[in-house]
Structure 1
Amino acid sequence: MVSAGMRAAAIVAAMAIASGAAAADGGVKIGVLSDMDGLYSGTAGPGSVEAARMAIEDFGGQALGKPIELVSASHQNKADVGAAITRGWFERDHVDAIFDLNNSAVALAVANLARAQSKVVVYTGTASSALTNEACAPTTVHYVYDTYALASNSARAVVAGGGKTWFMVAADYAFGKMMTENVSDVVAESGGKMVGTVYHPLDTADFSSFLLQAQSSGADVVALGSATHDMVNAVTQARQFAITPAQKLVAMLVFIQDVHALGLERAQGMTFTTGFYWDRTEATRTWSKRFFERMKTMPSMIHAGTYSAVMHYLQAVSEAGTTDGPTVAETMKRLPIHDFFAENGHIRPDGRMVHDMYVVTVKSPAESKYPWDYYKILATIPADEAFQPLAKSSCPLVKK
C-alpha cells in the first residue's frame, strides 16, 4: 500500500523533473531539496534555489563542456518524502549532487541514500551535528553551521556571564534533540546545569504550556532549540508571559529573517552565533545586494552558504574532470574555500566544512542606520575553534 507521503513525493518529484528537464548526457545536474512553502521556506527554500542559480550563472553556466541543469523540490519537512525524491533523483533522473536539506530528519534519511549511491550531498541548511558523526559518509559535506557550533559558542558565553541553570524548549525532532544534547553537554562542561527540557511539535502556534514549564523551573536561562516561525513565536510569547527579564532568553538558531519578522524593538539585545552576516565586508555586501535584487530579502546564512557550496562543487567537478561522486567529494576536500562566505574554509575528513563563525548581538532601533542593519559582531570565532574538534568525532571515516 502506497502512503500519502510517498504519493506526494512522486508528485513533487515529477514536478521537479518537468521544471528541470532531462539532464544532457554527461552533463552536470544539481538538485536543491528544501522546504519550499512551509515554516522553513523563508530562510532556505526558494532563496536556496536562487542562490544555486546565481552560482551556476557565475560559473559560466557550463561544466565539462555541457550546460549545468538545476532541479528543485520540496521535502515538506517529511523524511519519507525527502527520501523518495532523493531516490528518484539519483536512480532515475541522474542528479549528481543535492544541496540544502533544511530539515535534520530529512537530511539523516538522505544521508543513507548518499552513502548507498555514492552521490554528493551538501547540507547547507541542516543543523544536526550527527551528520558529521555517526551519520557521516564519504560523499557528504556539512557546510554552513551545526548544533555543536551554535551551542558551544553561545552557551559558553552565557554560562560565563552568570547563566548557570538552564531550561530547554526545543522542537520535537532530530534538530531539537541534537541541539538539546549539544547545549546540555556544553552547559555541564562550563559549570552549569540543565534543570529541565520540554519538546514541542514542529510548527507550533501556542507555546504557552511549554513556556510556563520553563518559567516555573526558575532556571536562569530559557534556551530555545527551535527555528524560524517556531522561534519567532516562542520569543514573542515569552515576552508576553514576562519570562524576560527575570529569566534570560537565549535562541540557539537565529536567521536574519527572524530578526526582520520580530522587529528590532522586540529582537534588540538578542545574542547568538551565526555563520554569515550580509553587512560584514564589502564582498558580503556586494553579493547580498545582488541576491536582494532577485529575492527582496537579505540572504540568510543558508542562502549564502548554498551559493558558496554549489560554486565549490562546480570547481571540484571541473578540477576532477568528472561527476563521479567519490572523486568529486575527495576533490572538494582537497581544494580550499576562499570566497565572500568563507575566507578560510576547508572540508575535513568527517565532511565538516570548517570556517569562521560570528557571535553577534541585535542592534536597538536607534543603532540601526539603514534597512537590514541589524547586527553588531561581538567576536569572530576562528575556523579551527568554531566546530567540534575532529578528535571528538564519532565519524568512522576519521582515523584515530
Structure 2
Amino acid sequence: MIERKQIRDTLSQYEGDVTIGVLCSHSALQILHGARLEGFETVGVCPKERKKTYSSFPRAKPDEFLIVEDFEEILDEKNQEKLLEKNTVIIPHGSFVEYVGAENILENFRVPIFGNRKSLKWEGSRKKQRKWLEKADVKMPKRYEDPSKIDGKVIVKFSGAKGGRGFFTANSEYDFEEKLEKRLNEGLIKEEDVENITIQEFAPGVRYYPHYFHSIFYRKGAEVGDGSLEILGMDRRIEPIDESYRGLPDVPLDFFDYTVTGNESLVVREKLLVELIDIGISIIEASTELFPPGITGPFCLETIYHPRRGFTAFEISGRIVAGTNLFPTGSPYSPYYFEEPMSTGRRIAREIKRGIEEERMYRVIY
C-alpha cells in the first residue's frame, strides 16, 4: 500500500505552485471552477471523446488536458509522472473510485490525493460502510445475509460508486432470484458484483443527502476534534423510479430503475439540522478510530427521514458527491459560513490553499 509517509515525501519535493487535478467526470466542472477561483492551475484527465464537452465551459475548463483512452490509464507510469511533474493534487470523486478502483488507488497511485485515501476503501465496501456507521452509532436499515430470510420489502445493492445502476427491490427469495438473473442477463451487473451483494430493508421516508465538509484549518462550523464540521448543501437523487407515477395504473417495468440521472436541491426543516450535525460529528469521530487520522474534506451521508423513526442512514460516500453540482455558486447553507459564493469544489481548493499557506498541506493530503 502507498504509505502516508511516501505521499508526504512527494509533497516535500514539489517545487513551485500546486496544480489541482481531476478526472473529467462526475463533479469535475465545479472542482475546476472552484480551483480557478482560488488561483490554482488545473489539469483534467480526459478521454478524448469528452474533450469537446470539457472545453465548452470556459470558466470550468482545465488549463491543460491529459488525454487518455480510459480513466484507468491514469495508473500508467508515464501519466503518473506527468502529474507529479506538475505538482498535482488529485481531487477524488465517484468516477475516480468507480473506474480506477479503491484498491488500485491504495496500492498503485503515487500522486497525492486530497483527503484520506483510506476512506475510499471504506466507502467502496458495504460491509466496511456498515461497520463505520455502527461505530458511529447511526441508525441503519436491517440487513439480510441470506435471500431466504427476506420477510418484507428489501432493496438490493452492489458495491462501488455505481450510481444505483442495477439496484432493485424484492419481496421474497423467488422475486430476488428472478430479478437478479434478469440483470445479469441484461449486462447491468457482472458475476463479480453478485459476490458483494447487499440486501437491505427498504426503509420508508423522505430522502435527504447532506453534504458535509470536515475542515482541519478552519473553525467556522461545529467543533469536532481539532477541526470543525460544515454542512455545505443538501440534495436528493433523481432516479427513473421517481417518475413511476406517470405510468399509472399500469407502470412500465422500465420505470423500476434506481440509476441516478440527476439531483434536486433540498432544505431540511431547521430543527432537523440538530440531528444531522450530531450524526456528521459521530461519523468523523468513528473514522479517526477506524482509519486514522480519519476522514477529511467532503463526505455525504445518504439518509431516509421518517417522522416517527428519525434519520436512518443507508450509505456513506467518503468524498465529494455529484449532488454538490447543484451549488456552483453556493447552497442555501454555505452563506452561513462564507461571505463569498462557496461550492464544495471551491471549498476543497480553499482548504488546500490554507494548508499551503500554513505549510501544513500534508494534514489534508494522502
TM-score interval, smaller chain: 0.3 to 0.5
Query: TM-score scaled by structure 2?
Result: 0.39
Query: TM-score scaled by structure 1?
Result: 0.37
